[in-house]
Amino acid sequence: MSIIAHISDLHFNRVDEEVCQALLEEMRAVRPDLVIVSGDVTQRARVREFLAFREFIGKVPFPNLIVPGNHDVSLYNPFRRFLRRLTRFRRLVESDPHPTFENERFFAIGMDTTRSFTISGGKVKEARVRFVHERLAKVDERKLRLLVCHHPVHSEPGHHKDWVDGFSLLEERVDVVLSGHHHLSESEAKVKGGSTLLVRAGTATSTRHRGETNAFNILRILSGQSLEVEVRSWNVEARRFETKSKKQFHLGQGEWVVGNES
């Protein structure tokens, strides 16, 4: 079994310190093979915020894969926003625009979906999509192929304005997409009749909520074709993370099927 801790929307320096410490303890207890951070590590892309996040992630003694979110792009400085969009993120957090991780059960690759011309929405450049497509084509088909990005993806008309266009080129290559942005925990088999599983993480440590307390995901790859998604949610009264839900998904004949759910 392989274990992945999936967190998103941390928003340093706008964090709940008690939740932050509890999250560190949770990840140390889980001992994941990989910690995935799907963006918005800062609130306003300031140097001190990136440094605070780097101190936090440095306390997690496991491999990590981190992609930027729209909050990791400067909002108020036009020069930095349009000409140096991710300079601070690349220098202080992750220099690789397509970070990867691979073990015997899965392969994960990150993709930047941020842009300069919108405050919230995401977009993927064609060259970036083609690079990821070619890289995924080299992965052993017996392994689950995971794509990590901040903005959720969709390929149907009439999608949410914040969702990323252009995912259709990757549908045949991606088994699971891990994202954040909406501050809500969700997992569903949706793209192309269920061939791609979409897993979205809630708000990890930020005080900014949208109808859900702080939460993160634990993914357990039970086999090459079976995956469990556990949502760990902050219990405000008990002051600790507790299991909110568990879903098992099985990939068979090119489609994900929901198994046990609790």
For 199-235, b where at least 16 C-beta lie within 10 A, e where not — what string? bbbbbbbbeebeebebbbbbbbbeebebbbbbbbbbe
CA distances for 144 relative to 38, 139, 163, 188, 242, angstroms = 18, 9, 23, 16, 27
Say how far apart CA 230 and CA 236 lie, in whole Å. 19
Q: Using one digit for the tens of pLDDT, what is the confidence trace for 115-136? A: 755 656 666 777 788 889 899 9
66 by Cβ neighbours in 10 Å (0-12 / 13-18 / 19+) ranks as buried
Q: Using one digit for the tens of pLDDT, what is the confidence trace for 143-156? A: 999 999 998 876 44
Q: Any idea where the domains of the chain sit in the sequence?
A: 2-261
Fold of 2-261: Purple Acid Phosphatase; chain A, domain 2 (3.60.21)
pLDDT, position 259: 80
- pTM: predicted TM-score of the whole model, two decimal places: 0.90
What is the overall mean pLDDT for the chain? Answer: 86
Structure tokens at 110: 């990150």
DSSP letter (8 states) at residue 42: B
Longest dimension (CA), the chain: 50
* Listed residue (162, 172, 223, 221) closest to 193, CA to CA: 172
Q: Using one digit for the tens of pLDDT, what is the confidence trace for 32-66? A: 999 999 999 999 999 999 999 999 999 999 999 99
pLDDT, position 162: 44
81, amino acid identity: R
Confidence of residue 157 (pLDDT cuts 50, 70, 90): very low
Q: Are 164 and 126 in contact (CB under 8 A)?
A: no
Residue 102 has pLDDT above 50, yes or no: yes
pLDDT, position 120: 62
Q: Report DSSP letters for 148-191, one per residue.
A: E-SS-B--STT--TTSBS-GGGGTTT-SEEEE-SSS--EEEEEE
Strand order in the sheet with 106-110: 100-102, 106-110, 144-148, 176-179, 196-200, 186-191
Q: Which of 98-112, 173-187, 196-210 has the highest mean pLDDT?
A: 98-112
